[in-house]
Amino acid sequence: MIDVRATGGGRDRRPMPARPLRARRVAVIAMIAWLAMLILALPAWAHVQAHSTLAHAASPAMVSPEAIAVPASTIPTVAATQGPRSAAAVSVGAMRFADGIILSTTLYTALVMLLLIGGGMYAALRDRQYLHYLGYVGAVLLFLLARNGHLQDMPGLQWFAAWGALGVYALANVLTASIVVVARGFANTSRVAPTLDRAIKLFPIGPGLLALACMLDRAGSAGLLSVATAFAWFVAVGLAIAATAVAWRQRQRLALPMLLMWLFVLVAGTLHVMRGVGMIVGEGWVLVADQVMFTANALVMGMVMTGHIIEFRLQRDRASLAKEQADASLKLERERLKFIEALHTTLRDAPSGDQEWLGFRRLLEVVRELVPQSSSAVAVHAFQDNDLLLCEPNTTRDAYQQLLAARSGAFKGISRSQLPMQLRVDAPAPAEGEQAELIQVAVIPLPMTAPAWGMLLVERRGWQGFEREELNVAAELAQKATRAVEDAANDRVLRINAEFDALTAVFNRRTMDNRLAAYFKESQVHRTSLAILFADVDHLQETNEVYGHAAGDQTLRTLADALKAHCGTAGVVGRYGSDKFVVILPDFNPEQARRWAEAMREEVNGKLLDVGNGKSLRVSVSAGIASRLAEDADVHTIIDRAEKALAASKRSGRGTVQAPPIQGVANGPRSR
């Protein structure tokens, strides 16, 4: 026995985009990282504060008091130039030197790691903004190495010591230029603040020229260049703050933590300069605050770059998802139109009795193209007094017969509910040593008139269920196939029951009244388009009087044949009165219906009928079209508008197609 367990409707499996990195979260991470760096530097600061009363010469100056950037000297050099000192002073100086090395190593390590991370981001994304970030972090690292006197001690860089303070000034100007460049890229001022962007864009030229002057000037103009360097640095940080403030006002993500970091850098740099020129006296944290702020700023900016990576990924995922959805929609629309055309052609040309088989076989073919599956089947009971089971591939017929026999009552209830469902089916027990296989089955009811009922079954192996969109696509195609097959079957029944008009071989008035009511209700329920056309032969009474009733009958048959040829199975044609025909055009919007009517009118109006005695009669037809409006309560309102449009065509000179103004036409989501 096969166990069938309902698992509910389709599940929405749209890919969930990665959650963006929020500014508050980045700010918290930045503060934690900053505190961690401060904790690592606490030993140096504790010793500096404990011995702040000692002579300044005993400490390894991190920066010269003359300017913002002067190379430091090592402890041995300072001790040698200042003469003998007490053992306690030397011991304190050695301890403070060791603490300074610990702090410097911590900052250098952090900057090198940020360089590696930034290089990886640039290699992965090839975005110019990450290259700017690499330049900024590299400039900070080189500047701190030079200012602390460590750059010229590195292997192969001893030549840098020849420039002395001017070399440090040059690197300070490189850092100044990189500050403006990276701030401009972050704030995207070219888009949000064009006026500010023009100043920021040209500013790096000034620090660049200053850096060149520092490297070329060996005459000892350090005082003037130090003032110019300090001024350029303050202007650069001010521009960075302004650009970041603009980004914050534009609600750019992560702009607030960056704005705070630039303000911290400005405060730390200002204190450092004030100490250098003697405006304040302080040691300890004042000596290293700007270095820590530069490193922390680079760290926060790295987090900002990470946020940009997440945003880039989100944009890429959204673009990829949009492309996939567009491709899927295009494929669906193409297959749907091809299916409708093939279905109408197949049923129109099929011999009587084969229409159901051919129609549902087409349904299985198109569903197999659009819905991934292992197999599918159409099972119909008591449809036109016959049962039908079609399988794709045909080798699965026995398995579907067993499934239907085991759960026929459940399937009948699902088909009556007209709601697509998913079932989890445990396959029969396999042979010994084999693992049982789980089967997901989508059950799509076919909209049939009782007592007939049927369903489309789509099987998928494994745990993967069906998405809601897949069920909707299968249900739409099943509805169209069933309607086309039922229409074909009804056509056959009508012929058998003589419900056709005997003269024109189209539906008679009674049949068309039923069809009009049914199509109107379906259009109203599913919110699809519906158009109705009335047409009649011009001057039919004069034709009967001049050429005889046989000529008039021939004219009516000509119009009926033209209407049927244009409709195929896409519409329904009937004779509504003595010389009046009605055409039901489901899923036709007003413009499509008008084009269809114009093509029919042109074909009919060009025909010449031989009425005997060497005489010929030119046929002329007038038509009126009306579409279902959202406020229409029943089909009679549409019929009334179509008849008035036909009367307007007669008054305008005959031989034309008229339609009322298109206002509030009900076009549903499934309209053509």
DSSP 305-354: HHHHHHHHHHHHHHHHHHHHHHHHHHHHHHHHHHHHHHHHHHHHHSPTT-
CB of 47 closer than 8 Å to CB of 99: yes
67/403: higher pLDDT: 403
Q: How many whole angstroms from its chain centre is CA 629?
A: 34
What is the structure's pLDDT at 415?
Answer: 83
Mean pLDDT along residues 249-262: 84
Domain 44-313 matching CATH 2.60.40: the answer reads: no
Domain 352-487 matching CATH 3.30.450.40: the answer reads: yes
Instruction: Tell me where in the chain the CATH 3.30.70.270 domain(s) lie.
Output: 502-658
What span, in angstroms and rounded, lies between the C-alpha atoms of 491 and 511? 10
DSSP symbols for 560-600: HHHHHHHHTTSSEEEE-SSSEEEEEEET--HHHHHHHHHHH
Mean pLDDT along residues 184-212: 86
Point out the least confidently predicted range of 263-272, 310-319, 584-593, 631-640. 310-319
Contacts of 143 (CB under 8 A, 6+ apart): 69, 168, 171, 172, 174, 175, 294
Instruction: Tell me where in the chain the CATH 3.30.450.40 domain(s) lie.
Output: 352-487
What tens digit of pLDDT does each residue of 501-518 get?
Answer: 888 888 888 889 999 999
Domain 502-658 matching CATH 3.30.70.270: the answer reads: yes
Check pLDDT > 50 for residue 54.
no
What is the structure's pLDDT at 15?
Answer: 42
What tens digit of pLDDT does each residue of 612-671 get?
Answer: 777 778 888 899 999 999 888 899 999 999 999 999 988 888 888 988 865 544 554 443
What tens digit of pLDDT does each residue of 75-94 get?
Answer: 233 333 334 444 444 444 45
* Backbone phi, psi, residue 508, to 5°: -90, 180
Work out the pLDDT band at 73, boundaries 50, 70, 90. Answer: very low
623/417: higher pLDDT: 623
Share of the chain above pLDDT 90, in %: 10
What span, in angstroms and rounded, lies between the C-alpha atoms of 348 and 24? 66
What tens digit of pLDDT does each residue of 428-464 get?
Answer: 655 555 666 778 888 999 888 878 888 999 998 877 7
What is the structure's pLDDT at 67?
Answer: 36
Mean pLDDT along residues 26-37: 48
Point out the least confidently predicted range of 2-11, 173-182, 607-616, 649-658. 2-11
What tens digit of pLDDT does each residue of 525-554 get?
Answer: 888 999 999 998 888 888 888 888 888 888
353/423: higher pLDDT: 423
Mean pLDDT along residues 418-424: 85
What is the structure's pLDDT at 456?
Answer: 92
Mean pLDDT along residues 17-45: 45
Check pLDDT > 80 for residue 204.
yes
Check pLDDT > 90 for residue 385.
no
Work out the pLDDT band at 74, boundaries 50, 70, 90. Answer: very low
What tens digit of pLDDT does each residue of 299-316 get?
Answer: 888 877 776 666 666 777
What span, in angstroms and rounded, lies between the C-alpha atoms of 132 and 181? 7
Instruction: Tell me where in the chain the CATH 1.20.1070 domain(s) lie.
Output: 44-313
Check pLDDT > 90 for residue 581.
yes
How does the average pLDDT of the chain come out, rounded?
77
Mean pLDDT along residues 159-173: 84
Closest CA to 52 of 266, 275, 296, 292: 275
Mean pLDDT along residues 370-381: 89
What is the structure's pLDDT at 98?
Answer: 58
Mean pLDDT along residues 25-35: 48
pTM score: 0.43
What is the structure's pLDDT at 220?
Answer: 60
What is the structure's pLDDT at 516?
Answer: 92
Helix, strand or coil, per DSSP, at residue 16: coil
DSSP symbols for 600-650: HHHHHHT-EEEEETTEEEE--EEEEEEE-BTT--SHHHHHHHHHHHHHHHH
Check pLDDT > 60 for residue 412.
yes
Max CA distance (Å), the chain: 143
Check pLDDT > 50 for residue 5.
no
DSSP symbols for 47-102: HHHHTTTS-GGGS--SS-TTSS------HHHHHHHS----HHHHHHHHHHHHHHHH
